C-alpha cells in the first residue's frame, strides 16, 4: 500500500515538497521489507528533515502564500505574475502619445528634391539619398477626390507620374515584403495612371493589353512612379525601396528616414462618420427618398444599437494608419493571450486603445505631411511649400504651377472649403452639416456619439497639432522668401 501511495504522490504533484514526500514514502516501503520498526522511521524522518530544511520551509510557506518561491540559497522571493508570451505588449487604457517637434515638422515639409518639368530628372532626396517618392494615403471621406485631381494635374504640369489605387487597404504584408521576386499587388485595383514623362494616360476601363501599366508591383513603383495615391495603408510602398529589416530599424528612430514621404488628410471623426453614411446612402439607396428626420434617426440607430450596445468603437481610420505588417499582428482573438491589467476594460476596447496608440506613433515616426479637411486651404499651402517651391525648367511652367495652386488654395475667393467638396450631397437639404446640427440638439445621443468616436478623436487631435506646426513653418518660410 505504501508503494502504491508513493506512485500516486509522484504523478499528482510537481513541487519540490512532493518530491520529498515521494522519496520518504519509497524509503519507508523499502525499510519495511527489511523489518525495521516504526521508531526507526521517525529517526530517519528527522535526519532527512535536517538535511532538507528548505524543502520543509516551502511546504509550510506555500500553503499560506503560493506566490512565494525560494532561491538556491533558500531565501524566499515573490514569484511575478506570469505573462504568456506574445509579440505585442499589454495595451494600456491611458495612451502615451509621442512627442512631435518643430525639427520634425521642418523635415516633413522640406521641398521636393526634383525639377518640375524635367522628364529625365535623376535627383535624389536630400535626406534619404533615394529617389523622391510620395505616398498619398487616401482616408475615406477626407477630401480625397479633390486631392486625386490635384496630384493628376501636378503630374501633368511637372512631367511626373501619378498612380491611383483603390480597394487596397487590405493589402497583406507577405505580398509586398518579398525581396528578390516581383509580386503583384493583387489585393489592389489600379484605377488610373498619369505618366507625364512619357505622355501616358490610362484607366481601368481600358483593355489590359492596351495598357502600359496593367498592374502594380514593387518594381513598377521603384522604376516608374513618383506619386502613389489611394486607399492603402501607411508604409505599403516602403518595401519597393529597401530590405524589410532596414525599414524596421529606421522606424525605431526618432526622426523618420523612410523612403516614402507620406501625405495624409484627416477629418473630425463625427463629421467623417456622418459624411460616410450619406455617401453610402447616395450610392446604395438611389431610389429611396429619405427625409432629414429619417436620416438622423437612422444614424442614431446605427450608433446606439449596432455600435454602443456591442461595446464597439469607430476604428475606420486604423485601416489606413496601421502598416500591413501591424495589421496582420493585431487581431481581437490575440488579446486573450496577453496579460490584462485593467479588469474593468473589455478586451475589445483594449485592442482599439492599443492600435490607436500605434497609429499615432506611425504619424510621428513616418513624419507625414499632415492635412486637415476642415483646414483645406492651409493644408494646400503646406503642399504648395513642398511641391511648388522646387526648381522649374521654365518660367512658363512656374506660372502654370502658380495658377494651379492658386485655384486649390482659393487665394482669390477666400473660400477655404470650396475645392474640398468634390462629392457634394445630392440629397437636397440632407448634408453633413444639416445632419450634425440635428444630432447636436440631442445631448444624450452626442454623449454616446463622442464615446463611440473617442479613439479616432485621439488620432485627429494629435494630427491637428502636427498640421498646425507644419503650417506655421510653411508660412514662415514663405514670408522669409518674399
Residue pair 188/216 in contact (Cβ under 8 Å)? The answer is yes
pLDDT in tens, the chain (482 residues): 444 444 444 444 444 444 445 455 555 555 555 555 656 656 656 655 555 555 445 444 443 444 444 444 445 554 443 333 333 344 444 557 899 999 999 999 999 999 999 999 999 998 888 889 999 999 999 999 999 999 999 999 999 999 999 888 777 776 676 555 567 887 788 999 999 999 999 999 899 888 999 988 888 998 899 999 999 999 988 878 765 445 445 544 444 468 899 999 999 999 999 999 998 887 666 545 678 999 999 999 999 986 767 788 999 999 999 998 888 666 655 554 444 455 577 888 888 999 999 999 999 999 999 999 999 999 999 999 999 999 999 999 999 999 999 999 874 444 444 455 555 555 567 899 999 999 999 999 999 999 999 999 999 999 999 999 999 999 998 766 65
What is the C-alpha separation between 325 and 318, in angstroms, rounded? Answer: 13
Write the DSSP symbol of residue 392. Answer: B
Cell numbers describing residue 174? 507577405
Residue pair 244/178 in contact (Cβ under 8 Å)? The answer is no
Q: 227 forms bridges with which residues in the sheet?
A: 134, 162
88-91: long-range pairs with CB below 8 Å, 24+: 88/329, 88/330, 88/334, 88/338, 88/354, 89/338, 90/338, 90/339, 90/340, 90/341, 90/350, 91/335, 91/338, 91/350, 91/351, 91/353, 91/354, 91/357
Closest by CA to 93, choosing from 314, 461, 354, is 354
Q: What is the structure's pLDDT at 229?
A: 96
Q: Give the start-end residues of each E strand in 231-384.
A: 261-266, 369-372
Q: 193 forms bridges with which residues in the sheet?
A: 163, 202
Query: How deeply is 299 buried, as exposed, middle or buried, from its count of CB atoms within 10 A (0-12, 13-18, 19+)?
Result: buried
- The full DSSP string for 429-479 is TB-HHHHHHHHHT-HHHHHHHHHHTHHHHHHHHHHHHHHHHHHHHHHHHHH
Name residues whose C-beta falls within 8 Å of residue 79's C-beta, 6 or more positions apart in sequence. 67, 68, 69
Reported as type and span, the H/E element at residue 351 is helix 347-365
SS3 call for 179: coil
Name residues whose C-beta falls within 8 Å of residue 34's C-beta, 6 or more positions apart in sequence. none
Q: What is the structure's pLDDT at 39?
A: 64
What is the C-alpha separation between 397 and 206, in angstroms, rounded? Answer: 30
Closest by CA to 203, choosing from 177, 253, 166, is 166
Q: What is the structure's pLDDT at 414?
A: 42
The Cα-based distances of 244 to 62, 180, 237, 344, 414 in angstroms read: 49, 12, 11, 38, 45
Q: What is the structure's pLDDT at 130?
A: 86
Closest by CA to 216, choosing from 185, 192, 239, is 185
Where do the structural domains in the chain lie, given as residue ranges? Answer: 2-77, 102-481
Residue pair 414/175 in contact (Cβ under 8 Å)? The answer is no
- Cβ neighbours around 398 below 10 Å, total: 17
Q: What is the structure's pLDDT at 145?
A: 92
Q: What is the structure's pLDDT at 16?
A: 45
Q: Which residues of 113-125 are buried (b: 16+ CB within 10 A; e: fewer)?
A: bbbbbbeebeeeb
What is the C-alpha separation between 21 and 10, in angstroms, rounded? Answer: 9
Angle at which helix 376-387 crosses helix 454-481, to 10 degrees, equals 50
What is the C-alpha separation between 382 and 470, in angstroms, rounded? Answer: 7
What is the C-alpha separation between 464 and 372, in angstroms, rounded? Answer: 7
Closest by CA to 365, choosing from 224, 462, 473, is 462
Residue pair 315/459 in contact (Cβ under 8 Å)? The answer is no
Angle at which helix 16-33 crosses helix 38-51, to 10 degrees, equals 150
Question: What is the distance, to the nearest Å, from the Cα of residue 134 to the centroid of all Cα atoms in its chain?
Answer: 18
Amino acid at each position: 500500500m505504501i508503494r502504491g501511495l508513493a506512485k500516486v504522490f509522484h504523478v499528482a504533484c510537481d513541487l519540490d515538497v512532493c518530491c520529498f514526500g515521494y522519496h520518504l514514502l519509497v524509503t519507508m516501503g523499502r525499510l519495511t521489507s527489511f523489518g525495521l520498526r516504526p521508531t526507526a522511521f521517525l529517526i530517519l524522518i528527522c535526519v532527512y528533515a535536517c538535511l532538507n530544511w528548505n524543502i520543509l520551509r516551502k511546504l509550510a510557506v506555500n500553503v499560506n502564500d503560493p506566490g512565494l518561491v525560494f532561491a538556491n540559497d533558500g531565501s524566499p522571493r515573490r514569484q511575478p505574475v506570469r505573462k504568456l508570451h506574445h509579440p505585442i505588449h499589454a495595451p494600456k487604457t491611458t495612451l502615451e502619445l509621442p512627442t512631435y517637434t518643430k525639427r520634425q515638422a521642418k523635415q516633413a515639409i522640406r521641398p521636393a528634391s526634383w525639377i518640375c518639368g524635367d522628364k529625365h530628372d535623376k535627383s535624389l532626396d536630400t535626406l534619404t539619398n533615394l529617389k523622391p517618392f510620395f505616398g498619398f494615403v487616401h482616408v475615406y471621406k477626407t477630401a480625397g477626390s479633390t486631392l486625386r485631381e490635384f496630384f493628376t494635374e501636378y503630374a501633368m504640369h511637372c512631367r511626373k507620374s501619378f498612380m491611383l489605387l483603390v480597394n487596397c487597404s487590405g493589402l497583406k504584408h507577405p505580398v509586398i515584403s518579398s525581396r528578390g521576386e516581383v509580386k503583384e499587388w493583387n489585393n489592389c485595383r489600379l484605377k488610373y495612371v498619369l505618366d507625364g514623362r512619357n505622355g501616358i494616360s490610362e484607366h481601368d476601363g481600358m483593355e489590359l493589353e492596351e495598357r502600359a501599366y496593367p498592374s502594380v508591383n514593387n518594381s513598377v513603383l521603384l522604376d516608374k512612379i513618383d506619386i502613389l495615391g489611394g486607399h492603402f495603408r501607411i508604409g505599403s510602398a516602403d518595401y519597393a525601396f529597401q530590405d524589410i529589416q532596414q525599414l524596421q530599424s529606421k522606424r525605431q528612430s526618432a526622426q523618420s528616414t523612410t523612403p516614402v514621404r507620406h501625405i495624409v488628410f484627416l477629418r473630425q471623426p463625427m463629421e467623417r462618420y456622418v459624411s460616410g453614411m450619406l455617401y453610402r446612402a447616395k450610392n446604395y439607396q438611389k431610389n429611396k427618398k429619405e427625409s432629414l428626420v429619417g436620416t438622423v434617426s437612422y444614424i442614431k440607430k446605427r450608433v446606439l444599437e449596432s455600435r454602443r450596445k456591442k461595446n464597439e468603437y469607430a476604428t475606420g481610420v486604423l485601416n489606413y494608419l496601421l502598416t500591413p505588417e501591424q495589421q496582420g499582428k493585431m487581431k481581437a482573438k490575440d488579446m486573450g493571450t496577453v496579460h490584462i491589467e485593467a479588469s474593468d476594460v473589455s478586451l475589445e476596447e483594449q485592442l482599439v486603445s492599443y492600435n490607436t496608440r500605434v497609429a499615432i506613433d506611425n504619424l510621428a515616426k513616418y513624419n507625414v505631411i499632415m492635412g486637415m479637411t476642415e483646414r483645406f486651404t492651409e493644408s494646400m499651402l503646406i503642399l504648395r511649400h513642398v511641391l511648388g517651391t522646387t526648381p522649374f525648367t521654365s518660367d512658363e511652367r512656374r506660372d502654370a504651377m502658380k495658377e494651379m495652386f492658386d485655384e486649390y488654395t482659393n487665394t482669390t475667393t477666400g473660400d477655404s472649403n470650396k475645392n474640398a467638396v468634390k462629392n457634394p450631397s445630392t440629397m437636397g437639404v440632407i448634408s453633413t452639416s444639416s445632419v450634425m446640427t440635428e444630432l447636436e440638439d440631442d445631448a444624450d445621443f452626442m454623449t454616446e456619439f463622442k464615446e463611440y468616436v473617442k479613439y479616432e478623436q485621439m488620432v485627429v487631435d494629435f494630427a491637428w497639432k502636427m498640421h498646425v506646426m507644419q503650417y506655421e513653418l510653411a508660412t514662415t518660410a514663405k514670408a522669409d522668401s518674399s
